[in-house]
Structure 1
């Protein structure tokens, strides 16, 4: 079976990010099933609808990658019970420029320093991805929330807890089924 082509979006613009580490781990650990293109959003400016005539190159590039992919994984931290402003701004750009996330299967993951993980940020992101103009197909259930991230990775960026890695594999396996079912549904709809 061919590998599933995915885009992984690092949901913050910090030079150091546990969410970047999480996506890098997924890229390496699940490379038998997926090809994961990790994309940064640090060069995407704040959304400003008065600048729609000149969409930034970084937005156009990310949009093209998302449209070409089979699905998207967004790794978000949690800032003040929500997603970071830079991630919200990126989604706003994508919602008005070519609607790249529309009907695209999306998996949400998140790493946080706190004990609650990214539960509220993931709920916030689900609402945003469900909004008109975005219309992402977010995988239901199988939410991967990595709490106390500082203690979960070793020096090489490897997740060290066996049960955490096992659950992450379960989540990825379910997402791959979700992606394939989405492809089948749209293939039969377009016959």
Structure 2
């Protein structure tokens, strides 16, 4: 998505595998990698959650990262426009993971403004990509194009409505 939509979105990956495990013991003194992660997310204009499905849910590293975003009182993603895409090698394409993710994101300490009605579930993803990691399935590409365009329109509407509300 980063290369395909480079002319429309500036997608900057934020890596979560090295974010320390959340613990109440270090909540008030987070490590540098936690602070860097939170700052990267806070500095973004919007958030794209790209979620695979592992054992019918989101990866543990994603849950951990979201736990950090909900703590510290800075409301890192509250009212920030966001959308979710997901994939799996199974036919359901991350449906269950995204249901869990939406439930987690409904926490008032998180509450991004999610793009409604544009769920992206890419099932059997391994059959829809080439060796370079590019989506090659024409139907999937057309749908992603539509969702990205819908998000851009949603983003502009959301930003103007949030600015008026503040």
TM-score interval for Structure 1 and Structure 2 normalised by the shorter chain: over 0.9
Match of 2:136 among 144, 150, 160: 160
1:78 positional shift: 1.1
Q: How far apart, CA to CA, are the structure 2 residues paired with 1:187 and 1:134?
A: 19
Match of 2:41 in 1: 66
Q: In proportion to residue count, which structure has more strand?
A: 1
Supply the distance in 1 between the matched residues of 2:123 and 2:144 (Cα, whole angstroms). 13
Write the distance in 1 (CA, Å) between the matches of 2:40 and 2:154: 19
Question: 2:19·2:37 contact (CA, 8 Å) conserved in 1?
Answer: no
* Runs of 4+ in structure 1 over 4 Å off: none
Aligned residues: 165
Q: Which runs of 5+ in 1 are unaligned?
A: 1-25
SS in 1 for 2:36: helix
Q: 1-side partners of 2:152 and 2:51: how far apart? A: 20
Counterparts of 2:133 and 2:55, CA distance in 1: 26
| Structure richer in helix, relative to its length | 1
Tell me what 1:90 maps to.
Answer: 65
Match 2:20 to one of 40, 45, 49? 45
Q: Deviations over 1:34-72 (max 9, x none)?
A: 111011101012211121122122222122222222110
TM-score for both structures, normalised by structure 2: 0.94
Distance across 2 between alignment mates of 1:142 and 1:27 = 18
- RMSD, aligned α-carbons: 1.2
**Other-structure match for 2:87:** 111
For 2:158 and 2:33, locate their aligned partners in 1 and report how far apart those are by CA, in whole Å. 27
Gaps of at least 5 residues in structure 2 are none
Distance, in Å, in 2 between the alignment partners of 1:175 and 1:58 is 29
Aligned partner of residue 49 in structure 2, secondary structure = strand
Asked if the contact 1:59–1:94 (Cα under 8 Å) also holds between the matched residues in 2, the reply is no
Q: Of the candidates 137, 161, 165, which is equivalent to residue 185 of structure 1? A: 161
How far did 1:134 drift?
A: 1.0
- TM-score, reference length from structure 1: 0.82
What is aligned with 1:10? Answer: none
Give the Cα separation in 2 of the matches to 1:181 and 1:49.
Answer: 37
- Report the Cα offset of residue 176 of structure 1: 1.0
